[in-house]
Each structure stands twice: as C-alpha cells, then as structure tokens.
C-alpha cells in the first residue's frame, strides 16, 4: 500500500524506469553495461516505492497514551522553552527519520486541532540543534481531553523539500490517522507538559501509531 502523496512521483518514476530499460535494450550493445543500466533503473524504482509505502497499522487508540507520530529513532529528550505557542517550558521528544523509514505523519493522540501553522525556512540537517526553529516546518497543536494541548512539529531536513500537513484548526482528529507526510527524510518534535511520564529513552526505535511515547 502506498501513500497518496507519492502517486505522481511513483508514476513518473515508473515511466522513466520502463523507458530506460527498453532504451538500454535497444541501444546498448555491451551486455554487462545494458544489464547494469537496467538494474540501476529498477533499484531506483524500488527505492521510490519503498519510500512512499504506507503500511497498515493496527492502532490501539487510548487517550491515556501519546503514540509516536512517525517511524524513526528517538534522538532528543530535553526540557526546552517553546516560544511559538505555549511560551513556557516543555518536554521535547524528537524522532528522527532516515530516508528508509516510513514517512507518514500520524496523529499521536485524538482531539481537536487548535493551531496549525506553516513556516518557511532553511534546510539544515534534521539533527542540527537549530533545525526546530530555523528549518522549514509546520507546527500543530491538538487538544486532548487527558493530556490537554500537545504540540508536534514537522521539520524539513537537508533532503526533505516538502512538508505536507493535513491538520486544520477546528477539526476533530483520531489518534493514529494520517496527519501529513514529509518527503525524503526529516524529524518530528513532540512538545509535552514538563513532568510527563515517558515510555521511551534516547536511542529507542519508534513505530508511528504503535510506539507509546508517553502515558498517564
């Protein structure tokens, strides 16, 4: 199953790969070179297909749990001053996605979208300390009946050139459903109330819609 955001790119890549395979067969006489070009075209197609995969997840919805919004690795857990929306101290948990991870962003909890804002910016590597404030990003706040207002931020990286965000202010959202997509590697930061009980530690691998990041 593939994500709808990849439909156009998958189609174009498929056309190019098929064209390269047939052209190589028609115009390259050296067998080893012909096969090498065809294999490279197939590998490129497979990489694009795996990047836009959208595996079905068995979401166990629970308002007492905050689920990871994305697949990746927990790279930051620290208290920070959040100055865009809360304007106070928050516990930030960052999950970094490499190009091989599933790049679907999911709602980590159910509730009402209170804030959704896009910010143009730089394309520093996603793990750069200033990426959260200087890179292209979107900031979303969901109000949940158990945790209150929780923020997550989609952040572009050195390769990610487009962030897709489905969150619209005033809409009701369900935990684990699609919240957007980040193309070609990046990270997502979660901003939780200070003192929130975490269920992960640095270096843990997270699975979007499955791994419990925090709980009551």
- Whole-number Å distance between alpha carbons of 151 and 146: 14
Sheet of 137-144: strand order equals 172-173, 111-119, 137-144, 148-156, 186-192, 88-97, 72-82, 205-206
Reply yes or no on whether 186 is catalytic: yes
Tell me which of 94, 116, 132, 186 is the catalytic residue. 186
Distance CA 113, CA 120 (A): 21
Where helices occur in 138-182 by DSSP H, the ranges are: none
Cβ-contact 52, 73 below 8 angstroms? no
Q: Which two tokens stand for residue 98?
A: 């490499």
Active site residues: 186
């Amino acid at each position: 199953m593939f994500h709808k955001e990849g439909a156009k790119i998958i189609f174009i890549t498929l056309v190019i790969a098929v064209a390269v395979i047939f052209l190589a067969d028609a115009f390259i006489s050296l067998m080893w070179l012909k096969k090498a070009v065809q294999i490279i075209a197939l590998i490129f197609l497979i990489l694009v297909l795996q990047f836009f995969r959208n595996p079905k997840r068995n979401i166990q919805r629970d308002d007492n749990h905050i689920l990871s919004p994305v697949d990746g690795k927990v790279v930051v857990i620290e208290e920070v001053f959040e100055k865009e929306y809360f304007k106070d101290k928050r516990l930030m948990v960052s999950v970094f996605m490499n190009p091989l991870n599933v790049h679907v962003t999911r709602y980590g909890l159910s509730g009402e979208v209170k804030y959704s804002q896009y910010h143009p910016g730089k394309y520093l590597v996603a793990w750069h300390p200033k990426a959260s404030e200087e890179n292209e990003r979107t900031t979303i706040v969901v109000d949940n009946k158990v945790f209150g207002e929780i923020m997550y931020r989609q952040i572009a990286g050195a390769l990610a050139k487009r962030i897709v965000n489905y969150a619209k202010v005033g809409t009701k959202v369900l935990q684990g459903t699609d919240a957007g997509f980040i193309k070609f590697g990046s990270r997502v930061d979660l901003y939780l109330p200070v003192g929130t009980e975490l269920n992960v530690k640095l270096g843990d691998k997270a699975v979007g819609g499955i791994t419990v990041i925090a709980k009551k």
